[in-house]
Amino acid sequence: MLTQERRERIVAIINERKVVTVAELEEELNASAATVRRDLTALHDAKRICKVFGGATTVEKGDIQIEEDSVITKSTRNMEEKTRISKYAASLIQDNDFVFIDSGTTTLELIKYIDNTKAKYITNGIVHAKLLLEKNLDTMIFGGRLKANTEAVVGPDCLDSIAKYHFTKAFVGTNGISTQAGFTTPDVDEASVKRAAIAHAHMVYVLADHTKFEQVSAVTFAKLSDCCILTDQEADKKFYDRTIIQVIKE
């Protein structure tokens, strides 16, 4: 297939599906990952598609979330569901676990229900660390740059710190869950922290209420198969084909 022909095919695929991964394009076009990435870069520069980490989206923003809401805004949404998920997640923590807790409102809710004082906890959330300390739990926080609207620690120093540790469990939040885009978030820096923590954890649980399914944000931080999902409602069957989902009912 000629370069121009292949790139036109890529544009057609992305416009049809809205979101596509590099791996999917490799398989469909019988092309290498390097070739697909070069094509995506060229098409992005030509403003024909929008290249994101791990794939691409249509140029039109559509339903793709590119900005992160503030902690205050997110903390008022779906509180009943978050509480149910968080109580169950807290029950999974065992003695001597070394637990990574991601920044975010659902993981903050999780901390309210943690009662295991024999585990150790580490987080990149400023408010999360404060709440852990208030509960007299063994607490560590990563160093790095502080992101104002989500109160999360991010950046190269944070990533360097994560690389030194190995977590028995990680509890992570997400803005979107899609079979095509995987787990996504609007911010590149926060995606990098999530990705690094997942790579250094034995078990990873994504805490996500039902509204996160079929949503896509700008940056992919993990494949569906990388994590288990804790949620409050049954998801479409296609998601169960990709990962383990635990539905926490009332």
pLDDT of 207: 97
- DSSP letters spanning 198-219: HHTEEEEEEE--GGGBT--BSE
Q: Are residues 186 and 98 in the same domain?
A: yes
Q: Are residues 142 and 234 in the same domain?
A: yes
Which residue segment(s) compose the domain that 106 sits in?
A: 71-247
Q: Are residues 50 and 99 in the same domain?
A: no
Q: Are residues 51 and 125 in the same domain?
A: no
Number of domains making up the chain: 2
In a domain, 66, yes or no: no
pLDDT of 65: 55
pLDDT of 78: 59
pTM of the model: 0.73
| pLDDT beneath 50: ranges in the chain | 61-62, 70-73, 75-76
pLDDT of 127: 95
**CATH (domain of 29):** 1.10.10
Q: Are residues 125 and 230 in the same domain?
A: yes
Q: Using CA atoms, how far apart are residues 100 and 113, in angstroms rounded to an integer?
A: 15
**CATH (domain of 213):** 3.40.50.1360
Q: Are residues 119 and 77 in the same domain?
A: yes
Q: Are residues 138 and 231 in the same domain?
A: yes
Q: Using CA atoms, how far apart are residues 130 and 180, in angstroms rounded to an integer?
A: 36
Q: Which of 33, 57, 81 is the last residue of a domain?
A: 57
In a domain, 102, yes or no: yes
pLDDT of 206: 98
Q: Are residues 85 and 206 in the same domain?
A: yes
In a domain, 62, yes or no: no
Token look-up 């991010």 returns 154
Q: Are residues 34 and 79 in the same domain?
A: no
Q: Are residues 52 and 77 in the same domain?
A: no
| Beta-sheet strands, E only, within 83-187 | 98-101, 120-123, 138-141, 145-147, 152-154, 167-173, 176-178, 182-185
* C-alpha angle 170-174-180 in degrees, rounded to nearest 5: 110
Q: Are residues 30 and 79 in the same domain?
A: no
In a domain, 65, yes or no: no
CA distances (Å), 187 to each of 67, 130, 212, 221, in order?
7, 23, 16, 10
155 neighbors 191 (Cβ within 8 angstroms)? no
Q: Are residues 44 and 121 in the same domain?
A: no
